[in-house]
Amino acid sequence: MTLTPERTRWAPVGALGLAMLLVTSEVTMAAVTLPGIGADFAVSPAATAWVVLAYALPMAAVAIPAGRWADAPTSARCSCSP
């Protein structure tokens, strides 16, 4: 399998999609495991909520520019106006 310009053009989009999937699954795992970890360390549930927020905030901050970046090549080819 050779790398053609068509394949190399979509490689960053695939890498970004994979990264977003991994971060989403990591946030889910953190949200599921934190009540048990908080109980072991005698930390309040409010304090453990900040940990989930610290995981979710960077994902949200990257999702909007990533979506705009992914839409940029297609918006030049299509027109949504009537």
3-state class of 2 per DSSP? coil
The maximal CA–CA distance of the chain, rounded, in angstroms, is 60
pLDDT per residue, tens digit, the chain (82 aa), is 676 777 677 777 787 788 778 878 887 888 888 889 889 989 888 888 888 888 778 877 887 787 777 667 655 554 454 4
Tracing tokens 């995981």 back to the chain, one arrives at 55
pTM of the predicted model as reported, rounded to 2 decimal places: 0.53
Q: Determine contact, residues 62/15, Cβ cutoff 8 Å.
A: no
Show me where the domains of the chain are located: 21-66
User: Of 2, 60, 52, 1, which Cα lies nearest the Cα of 27?
Assistant: 52
